[in-house]
Amino acid sequence: MVGDLGALQITTAMCPYISEMSGDTIAFRGECVWSDASGDKIFTEWSGKISMTTGTGSGPQTMTGGTGKFAGIQGSLPFECQALNDKGQLSCTQQWDYQLTAPSK
């Protein structure tokens, strides 16, 4: 990482997606826009599968760009999810691994 952002302070995330069910598996794919308090954004693309039998799923997520202090960001944030109930609610965790390029002068 170039510079010192400390911990990312993401305040909102918007992640529209589409899904398709085949047997007991739901396949998802979508895009996210992660924003911080100053309005700078990180853009990602993701996909994953969740088994209705086990109630678990996972998938890759890749950073595709950013604005402001996140311009030039690269990285991944794979996720794992666990179903909480039969109403489609999930609890998911992610590991952010990213790098910022030096600002051009």
- Residue 67 has a pLDDT of 95
* pTM to 2 decimal places: 0.82
Q: Give yes or no for a contact between 5 and 98, defined as CB atoms under 8 angstroms apart.
A: no
pLDDT digits (tens, 9 = 90+) for 56-87: 999 999 999 999 999 999 999 999 999 898 88
The domain limits of the chain are 10-97
Q: Give yes or no for a contact between 100 and 92, defined as CB atoms under 8 angstroms apart.
A: no
Q: What is the largest CA-CA distance in the chain?
A: 53
**What mean pLDDT comes out for the span 88-96?**
88
Q: Give yes or no for a contact between 41 and 16, defined as CB atoms under 8 angstroms apart.
A: no
Neighbouring C-beta atoms of residue 44, cutoff 10 Å: 22
